[in-house]
Chains A and B, each alone.
Chain A
Amino acid sequence: MIQVEGLTKVYGNFTAIHDVSFQVQRGEILGFLGPNGAGKTTTMRILTGFMPPTAGKVTIAGYDIMEDSLEARRHIGYLPESVPLYPEMTVVNYLNFTAAIRGVPKRDEAVERVMAQLNLEDRADTIIGKLSKGYRQRVGLAQALVHDPDIVILDEPTIGLDPKQIIEVRELIRSLGGDHTVILSTHILPEASQVCSRVLIINEGQLVAEDTPEGLTARLKGGERVFIHLASDTMEAEEALRNIAGVQEVSHVGDGKYEITCVLGQDLRPVLARTLIERGWDLLELRPIGMSLEEIFLKLTAE
């Protein structure tokens, strides 16, 4: 559905993305994961035909985004990160307008369908400028879906929403998979693993990993660490922890506090807990240390 080859974008003397290549199959939900400034938005702007690449080729549904731009754009629904809307228009007028410029044949039906899909019916005649952030996000998603595009491209669709709204948007995106091909960008790892069928990790303009969420999690398991807080600080405890099979490293990080690095794919928490309690040391806290995105990048780029 989408083919990207050797995509490079240079602004002045700053290279925003460098030699990015990937493919997306029909019905896939592809997550574009990376820290801010990694080149996600640039990539999306190129995919949607808003900006041309400095080098490389993008094919959307068989059409080159530069050569057959209009044809390619017909297949895309796009929501930019800032959710830009016309504040003076009512929701229904705005959706009618976006349906019209995309050449939707039965406009009223399409607008009704998409308003039902996003629960916007009771706000149909509200002026967009007066909507809350959550509703505006929904209107933004509605305009990206009103022409029932094959490909939906969403730039950080959950940013700035409250937790309930985030869950709603994620569910909506999941429901789009299968019929639509979805690309979404995010800098939140759990979001990518919950919603996406495949994840691309981009950092400093380059792809550093491409995997399913499960595969990615497995690859990262090797670095899983456990934090332990004991009531008292003893050398014996440290020794005992070190002797447990599967423990690679024990580092003393504070008064009674240890960080333990475990081997790949093994959850040592039950063993750690049992050992400490059987030996009579008071265990105050035991928890896995989640890796920050930065650590993930470090790990993935170091591999």
Chain B
Amino acid sequence: MRNALIITRRELGAYFASPIAYIVIAAYLVVMGILFSLIVAGQPGSEASLRFVFGNVFSVIILIIVGPLLTMRLLSEEQRSGTLEILLTAPVRDWEVVVGKYLASCIVFVAMLAPTVVYPLLLERFDNPDHGTFIATYIGVILLGMAILALGLLTSALSQNQIVAAFLGLGLILVLTFVQFLASVTSGILASTLTYLGLLSHFFDFLRGIVDTRDIVYYLSVASGALFITTQLLGTRRWR
């Protein structure tokens, strides 16, 4: 784990040495700011909740796009430049590399989310909203983000090209998002399975203030599953 943290530190340095992190964070905050002012601040008498801000379709779309943009570089660039060869011949386990990079992307994600905390603080001043719901909302967004970042990291292991990795990641996340819509054309166990697999079917409860362990387990399973596959993919250099 010590090695993973060393890699996390290096990755954080790399994030803020390139413009990508700044651009992604700025774009995210601009979109969220617009949504907040349109949905809550600009509507007198609206509900003092972030439910319709984070639950808004644009908010979800930008979250899905931001994930692969934050992770596309992580493994593809190391493969392209060959630095992976030095990294993986050091006494470091493959999973430590994967977890270290993943943690860095999660930290950047949380840093991106952090400024949005001014929204609940603002609402706090003008109303008496439910704190629990705010906390649940952020838990939900962070869990969804963790799953999306892990999926993005997985596709970053698949290509030496960052752009290809980003689009593969976006594709994978969209597939996991849309499986739940297939549920409406099926029935029985298949329908409930598809609904369960859907990346967003576990999200909206959080926004209503409901923290269900099943939803937490779902997101953490998706994230750890993706990290496991990523570690295996790194291992496939063994027959490439």
Interface residues of A (CB under 8 A from B): 11, 45, 48-52, 70-71, 73-74, 76, 78, 80, 82, 84-89, 93, 97-98, 100-103, 143
Contact = CB atoms under 8 A, between A and B. Distances in A.
B6 A100 contact: yes
A94 to B, nearest CB: 9
A98 B90 contact: yes
Categorize the interface residue count of chain B: 20 to 34
Contacts of B14: 86, 88-89
Given A84-B81, A84-B82, A101-B3, A50 B88 contact: yes
Nearest to B18: A88
Given A82-B82, A85-B83, A48 B89 contact: yes
Interface in B1-39: 3, 6-7, 10, 13-14, 17-18
B93 interface: yes
Contacts of A101: 3, 6-7, 87, 90-92
Contacts of A52: 238
A51 to B, nearest CB: 6
B125 interface: no
Nearest to A83: B82
Given A73-B89, A86-B10, A88-B18, 18 more contacts: A49-B88, A49-B89, A70-B93, A76-B89, A78-B85, A78-B86, A84-B85, A88-B17, A89-B13, A89-B14, A97-B6, A97-B10, A98-B90, A100-B6, A101-B7, A101-B87, A102-B90, A103-B91
Interface in B77-109: 81-93
B237 interface: yes
B81 to A, nearest CB: 5
B85 A50 contact: yes
Given A45-B85, A101-B7, A50 B237 contact: yes
A127 B237 CA distance: 30
Contacts of B10: 86, 89, 97
Contacts of A73: 89-91
Contacts of A100: 6
25 contacts: A45-B85, A48-B89, A49-B88, A50-B237, A52-B238, A74-B91, A76-B89, A78-B85, A80-B82, A82-B82, A84-B81, A84-B85, A85-B83, A86-B14, A88-B14, A88-B17, A88-B18, A89-B10, A89-B13, A97-B6, A97-B10, A98-B90, A101-B92, A102-B91, A103-B91
A45 B237 CA distance: 11
B86 A51 contact: no
Contacts of B91: 70-71, 73-74, 101-103
Interface of B: 3, 6-7, 10, 13-14, 17-18, 81-93, 237-238, 240
Contacts of A50: 85, 88-89, 237
Contacts, number: 64
Contacts of B18: 88
The 5 tightest CB contacts between A and B, nearest first, are: A84-B82, A88-B17, A48-B89, A84-B83, A73-B91
Contacts of B87: 101
A88 B13 CA distance: 9
A45 B89 CA distance: 9
A127 to B, nearest CB: 9
Contacts of A82: 81-82
A49 B13 CA distance: 28
Contact of B89 (A78, A88, A103): A78
A78 B237 CA distance: 18
Contacts of B89: 48-50, 73, 76, 78
Contacts of A11: 240
A84 B86 contact: yes
Contacts of A97: 6, 10
Given A50-B89, A102-B90, A86 B237 contact: no
